[in-house]
């Protein structure tokens, strides 16, 4: 199914044991990073992060843990929707957040990648942030 959220389209199929196919929503990933930093060491449950559906948040948290951005606990998908408990940011997660924290930098980074027809990945975001920050420092 296709669902629209802020500036991003997310495609996902939920099955009884999790996601078969999901595209990362980088606005949601940034929101999770910001929220975990603000939580100051308190664990966060996926359902505590509106406006996104809890199952999307849980699956993104799981992907972020797999990518080394956050520490967390996956109780599994035994019954009901996916769940995940985020425990905090890793060094890599803090580095990413520090580079995309400012809304202006984040928006310009996404805009630059879109303008060039380049997909959003961790590596392309980090490379584009360098370009955006360099341009901002020169102006």
Mean pLDDT, rounded, for 4-11:
36
Cα–Cα separations (whole angstroms), residue 92 to 66, 104, 133: 12, 21, 19
Mean pLDDT, rounded, for 22-35:
93
Mean pLDDT, rounded, for 52-64:
91
- Is-contact 99 129, C-beta < 8 A? yes
Q: What percent of the chain has pLDDT over 70?
A: 80
> How far, in whole angstroms, is CA 78 from its chain's centroid?
24
Domain ranges of the chain: 2-90, 102-139
CATH class of 2-90: mainly alpha
pLDDT computed for residue 79 by the predictor = 66
Query: What 3 state SS string does 51-66 have?
Result: CCCHHHHHHHHHHHHH
Mean pLDDT, the chain, integer: 84
How do residues 91-110 score in pLDDT, each as one tens digit? 999 999 999 999 999 999 99
Indicate whether 9 pLDDT > 50. Answer: no
Is pTM beyond 0.75? Reply is yes
pLDDT computed for residue 2 by the predictor = 29
pLDDT computed for residue 134 by the predictor = 96
Q: Which strands sit side by side in the sheet containing 44-45, from one edge to the other?
A: 44-45, 85-89, 70-73
> How many CA atoms are closer than 13 Å to the CA of 36, on its beta-carbon side?
29
pLDDT computed for residue 23 by the predictor = 85
- Is-contact 47 57, C-beta < 8 A? yes
Mean pLDDT, rounded, for 63-75:
93
**DSSP secondary structure string, 97-129?**
HHHH-SHHHHHHHHHHHHHTT----HHHHHHHH
């Amino acid at each position: 199914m296709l669902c629209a959220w802020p500036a991003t389209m997310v495609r996902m199929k939920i099955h009884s044991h999790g996601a078969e196919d999901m595209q990362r929503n980088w606005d949601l990933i940034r929101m999770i990073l910001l929220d975990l930093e603000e939580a100051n060491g308190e664990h966060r449950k996926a359902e505590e992060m509106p406006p996104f559906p809890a199952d999307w948040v849980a699956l993104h948290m799981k992907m972020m843990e797999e990518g080394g951005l956050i520490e967390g606990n996956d109780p599994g998908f035994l019954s009901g929707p996916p769940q995940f408990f985020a425990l905090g940011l890793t060094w890599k997660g803090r580095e990413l957040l520090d580079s995309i924290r400012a809304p202006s930098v984040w928006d310009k980074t996404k805009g630059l990648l879109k303008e060039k027809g380049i997909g959003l990945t961790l590596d392309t975001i980090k490379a584009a942030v360098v370009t955006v920050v360099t341009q901002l420092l020169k102006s």
